[in-house]
Structure 1
Amino acid sequence: MVDRRARSMSDTPPTSAAPAADGPGGEDPGDRVIRAIQQFSRSPAHVELTRALYRAGGKELTPTQVDALETLASRPEWRMHEFAEALDIDRGATSRTTDRLLRLGLAERRPDENDRRYVVVQATAAGRRISRRIQRDRYALMQEVLSGLTGDQRTDLADLLEYVTQAMEATLSRRAGSGDAP
């Protein structure tokens, strides 16, 4: 499950953006990072591996649906408003995502027996099985992909990815507080 609130980096992201120093040949390292992320996400291998990993019942799940399924499977049941909060998306988007999982037989929804004002959602046995398979296969894939890196390089990569995530969140929060658009 993805926990968007807990981060392991002890350093906080920078609060001001200083111009990046030019890299080799005068290239801005920021541009290189952006290009590398685009190449990664558009790579035919990435697309095919995602399709292979995120299949359920002959259908391809989106990364959002996989995140939702893994979150659902992380505990016995969720009230819909708690589930939306855990996913960090609005309730409408949570309902639409849940509806797709319901149609695939990966989730079920019912009124809360203790308080009928609430709706409870949970992963089905099939949903839990698929969630475990996705997690297992994704872990095996990443172990294979990262096998050429040393333990220290893997740690550095994880630290950098966590740092960039924190920096993006801090930037968006700062912009929202100042009224700037993202």
Structure 2
Amino acid sequence: MGQERVDRERARLLDELQAAVESVMTATRSGERHRALAGRAGQDLTRGEAQTLARIVKHGPLRVSGLAEMLDADRSLASRQVEALVRAGLAERVPDPTDGRATLVSATLRGKRLTTAIRRQWAQAMGEAVTDWPTADVELLTGLLQSFGSSLLGAMESTAHEANHDEDK
């Protein structure tokens, strides 16, 4: 009976964890919020464009197909987002040195600076959210989120690997 109670308590806590993560995701996934923060950083960008630019800054130069895979989007959507970033002067297409027929996308200096400015805006917004928290609590939350993010990513990758392995059977 004791183990059953522990299992129910753990299930309840996991439900609460899922609800808390969902709340954080809702707060950070708002397209309106992304646009406002990008605007404060100096450029009107959609959430998708900001995320695309951030991936290009972090992983570029890269092909649009690789970018689409990272974004979990189809190639045409990634291509449209890249085109908007190129028109805005935040990204550029350069020849792929390994394949003369292909192009790579890289961030311009302006795109890199904007990404840094947007990250600062997000940090400022988060700082406002925890302004009354003791520093020790902010440090604790940061460490726990880093651990949780790594563990969740590992569990999700493992689940995806198992699902792909099951499909091969």
Show the counterpart of 1:104. Answer: 88
**Structure 2 alignment gaps of length 5 or more:** 1-5
**Deviating 4+ runs (over 6 angstroms):** none
Between the aligned partners of 2:29 and 2:99, the Cα distance in structure 1 is 44
| Matched-pair contact (CA < 8 Å) for 1:79–1:118 | no
Show the counterpart of 1:128. Answer: 112
**Structure 1 alignment gaps of length 5 or more:** 1-19
Show the counterpart of 1:23. Answer: 9
Superposed CA deviations along residues 2-23 of structure 1, whole A, max 9, x for unmatched, are xxxxxxxxxxxxxxxxxx8223
Q: How many residues align?
A: 156
Show the counterpart of 2:45. Answer: 60
Q: Which has the higher contact order (CA 8 A, sep 6+)?
A: 1
2:96 is the alignment partner of 1:117: no
Superposed CA deviations along residues 10-47 of structure 1, whole A, max 9, x for unmatched, are xxxxxxxxxx82239xx62232222223333334x873
Superposed CA deviations along residues 132-162 of structure 1, whole A, max 9, x for unmatched, are 2012222333344355225234312321222
After TM superposition, the structure 1 = structure 2 runs for residues 39-50 of structure 1, keeping only pairs within 5 Å, are 39-43=23-27, 47=30, 49-50=33-34
Between the aligned partners of 1:29 and 1:106, the Cα distance in structure 2 is 43
TM-align CA RMSD? 3.6
Task: Report the alpha carbon displacement of residue 100 of structure 1 after superposing the two structures with TM.
Answer: 2.6
Percent of pairs with identical residues: 24
Deviates more, 1:27-36 or 1:128-137: 27-36
**Greater helix share, structure number:** 2
Task: Report the alpha carbon displacement of residue 90 of structure 1 after superposing the two structures with TM.
Answer: 6.6
Whichever residue aligns with residue 8 of structure 2, its letter is D
| Matched-pair contact (CA < 8 Å) for 1:80–1:91 | no
Task: Report the alpha carbon displacement of residue 115 of structure 1 after superposing the two structures with TM.
Answer: 4.7
